[in-house]
Amino acid sequence: MIFAFAALCFTQSQAKYSLTTISNPGPFYDTWAYGISGTNIVGCYESANDGHGDPKGFLYDGSNFTTLTEPDAIYFTMAFGISGHNIVGSYGNNSGFYGFLYDGTNYTTLNVSGASATWAYGISGTKVVGYYQIAGVGSYTNQGFIYTDGNYITLSFPGAVDTYPQGISDHNIVGYYDYGTDTYGDPISPQGFLYDGTNFITLSVPGATYTQAYGISGNKIVGFSSLGSFLCDGSNYIILDFSLPIQPMCRGICGNNIAGYYYAVTGYMQGLLATHVDVPLAPAILTISALGIGQLQIAVTNGTPDTESATNMLQSTTDFVHWASISTNISFSQNFTNIVSATNVMTFYRVYTK
């Protein structure tokens, strides 16, 4: 069963984040941060000693980097997801591309039977999600999978050509799907999805031409769209730019922490840890002006008004006009806080008498 999940409130982020750059020390080219669990972050980097095209995985615990290299890997090892001490990713050698599950001691190869390539991206507990490629004549398709205790279950968005699961939190899985790829193998207008174990829900950032969901933690989902990286909390899509000159790619989330990467001024890719910081809004100051008979204009500075509350709760009395919130009525001459909206000037037409 499929449900649409696009009619959500869309706002530019007012949330504040503290940013920490994640870069593997020593001579390097690029660092990508993909997955996060607690204070641990996984990803991959390219070393100047190895040259481009042969990335190695890493585990970063907040202080130290540990290189991850699958024993059978020749070309690359890339770590994409982490849950506790379990890490998943993919590696390549002369035989092909495979997924892996690393428990801190041993590597287990993940290889869907009949697949030409297997990519493991997300993990929650011991449940792994990813996708595998099936080669055809001059083309291939990608189907999702769920791996648990040695068993693979195919996960495919109904009617889609390709399905790419990326992240998992408990029984909830996020990713994206498409109806085909272009000549370069890139998805055509992909859309995100949330799978709750029974139903697929389409995730689509309003106004975006494409949406790709990558990480999930509880009810929070992060990903990337044509408008930039986003956070979806179940009620709102929020575009996250972190005031960086180039849009970051948000890939993983754990609680209030987001992992990803961005192009730095050095020209290299840098890993990114964004931590949400609660910053109270400045008090909003109301100015009420009479525009004419029965017309009032409310202008708000240092904050923004709740449009719906203002429309429904603006009241007039014999000699006063009051602003009414859910819990408090305050006169127009006072300040108030905790105001959220997309506009800071509203005009109301109301007949009142003195």
Nearest to residue 35, comparing CAs of 231, 270, 258? 258
pLDDT tens, residue by residue, 42-93: 999 987 666 556 899 999 999 999 999 999 999 999 999 999 999 999 999 9
The rounded mean pLDDT for the chain is 79
Average of per-residue pLDDT across 171-184 = 90
Could you tell me the residue ranges of all domains in the chain?
2-277, 284-349
Q: Are 9 and 236 in contact (CB under 8 A)?
A: yes
Structure tokens at 326: 């859910």
CATH number of 2-277: 2.120.10.10
Please report the pLDDT score of residue 235 as a whole number.
Answer: 80
- pTM here is 0.76
Amino acid identity, position 236: N
Q: Which residue carries 């009949």 as its tokens?
A: 114
| CA pair distance 322, 324, nearest whole angstrom | 6
Nearest to residue 118, comparing CAs of 137, 140, 138? 140
